[in-house]
Amino acid sequence: MNSTSPAVLLVHGFGACKEHWRHNQNILSAHADCYAIDLIGFGNSSQPRALLQGEEFQESGFYYNFDNWGSQVTDFCKEVIKKPVILVGNSIGGIVSLRAAQMLKGLCCGVILIDCATRAMDDKRLPGKPLWMSWSRPTLKFLVKQRWLSSNLFRNAAQSSVVKKVLRQAYPSGRNVNESLVSILLNPSKRPGASESFRGFINLFDDHLAPQLIKNLDIPIDLIWGEEDPWEPIQEAKRWHSSMQSIRSLEIIPNAGHCPHDEMPEEVNPLLVKIIQAAK
């Protein structure tokens, strides 16, 4: 245990799990106490029945949202790590990390966002979008609330051929896309409650956006971004970096996509180590 420097907690993205940090955690552990967590609904964590706003409350249900995932991370930091921490989040794990940083207050000494989710489908991002998106939003919300539809969509997506197709988009260089990665992502989807987090997530139309959270934090935030991310454009990262005072750095990984920490760990790990060492 390293008692003189902050710990590091790695927070995965949607559809992933703690094993998605397979090429990072051991390297970072040489420089700080390093943990990885499975968010509720993913990996080996519990998979409670998804509750949506307006549905009858059930004791065994769970609202899959950034407040609750943030609370999970906060509790883990306070009850397990028990020391100041740097949060590292990929994709939606970035938003979870930002929300947890707010909850942790002085116990969080920095956040590293790796291709943070921009949440393009949130209602708050509708202004400026084509009018048909606003007109069709009520119909879309009605449809994705239907459990039979979300279950079928998930079942069709949780196939090896589909996962490999998505990975070809997410990892444009093709590096580190192998059967091990497919298994890491696919195995948790075979558990009985795996479709519940999918249902909860696709119904998140009004939740936290990263820029709102960043503006309410006074800790250093660093960005690492794959230049070829097909879902979270590099232009968005550049806008954040140029317009938000809390963001002190933006490192762009050429030819990398949405998960540069796994696609090109030899490029990303030295950046993570540098930030961690600077926090000692």
Report d(CA 115, CA 226) in Å as an integer: 7
Beta-bridge partner residues of 9: 35, 87
232 within some domain: yes
39 within some domain: yes
pLDDT tens, position by position, 137-196 = 999 999 999 999 999 999 999 999 999 999 999 999 999 999 999 999 999 999 989 999
**Domain residue limits at 157:** 7-278
Structure pTM? 0.95
Beta-bridge partner residues of 257: none
State residue 53's pLDDT score.
Answer: 81
Report d(CA 9, CA 87) in Å as an integer: 5
The total number of structural domains that make up the chain: 1
pLDDT tens, position by position, 1-17 = 555 689 999 999 999 99
Residue 237 — pLDDT band, cuts 50, 70, 90?
very high
- The helix (H) or strand (E) run that includes residue 226 is strand 221-226
5 vs 65, residue with greater confidence: 65
* CATH number, domain with residue 94: 3.40.50.1820
252 within some domain: yes
- Residue 21 in contact with residue 11, Cβ under 8 Å? no
